[in-house]
Amino acid sequence: MNSRFREHGIGYQLESGNIVRVDSQLVHSEVVKPAFYLLSHQRFAGANDEFLKAHEHYRHGRASETINECLKAFESVLKIICTAKGWPYRAGDTAQTLLDVVFERGLLPSFLQGEFSGLRSVLESSVPTTRNKTSAHGQSAERKEVPPLFG
């Protein structure tokens, strides 16, 4: 089925029993497929549900809902890592607080933390900031338009 999709230039692919949108073969093979594989582990079932909801919203052009589910999945993964490692956190901790925990507790060796500071900055500011600025809080008198994601 996937080869037929590619043959006819259809931007979708069957992955883990789901039809997923493929905007870039490189991103799909290097990011989406590994994410599906990791999230298929039973321990990540809740995060996987949130990730799949985000993808479903994305397929239908619902940017606000996509961002909300993305952040929930990201925070869930961080909480699962903390639980598995026995690192304390509070149920209501934000992504930034959870990133503080995993970096301070040594998820990555200290000699690699400098190399990953750019990634950490992106993780702290991308989805959480986008969600907070566009879809997490009330709109007030002025309607907020969430721009379409990736195009």
For residue range 18-27, list pLDDT tens digits in order.
777 777 676 7
- Report the distance separating Cα 84 and Cα 107, nearest Å: 11
Query: Domain extents for the chain?
Result: 1-30, 42-138
Q: Where are the beta strands (DSSP E) in the chain?
A: 12-15, 18-21
- Report the distance separating Cα 94 and Cα 71, nearest Å: 9
- Report the distance separating Cα 31 and Cα 15, nearest Å: 13
Give the C-alpha distances (Å, rounded to integers) separating 86 from 53, 83, 96, 125: 28, 5, 18, 26
Q: What is the pLDDT of residue 77?
A: 94
Give the C-alpha distances (Å, rounded to integers) separating 38 from 77, 112, 129, 135: 10, 22, 25, 27
Q: Look at 87 and 9; give whichever has higher pLDDT.
A: 87
Contact (Cβ atoms closer than 8 angstroms) between residue 76 and residue 50: yes
| Residues 48-105: tens digit of each pLDDT | 999 889 988 888 888 888 888 988 999 999 999 999 999 999 998 988 899 999 989 9
* Tokens standing for residue 122: 């992106």
Contact (Cβ atoms closer than 8 angstroms) between residue 32 and residue 59: no
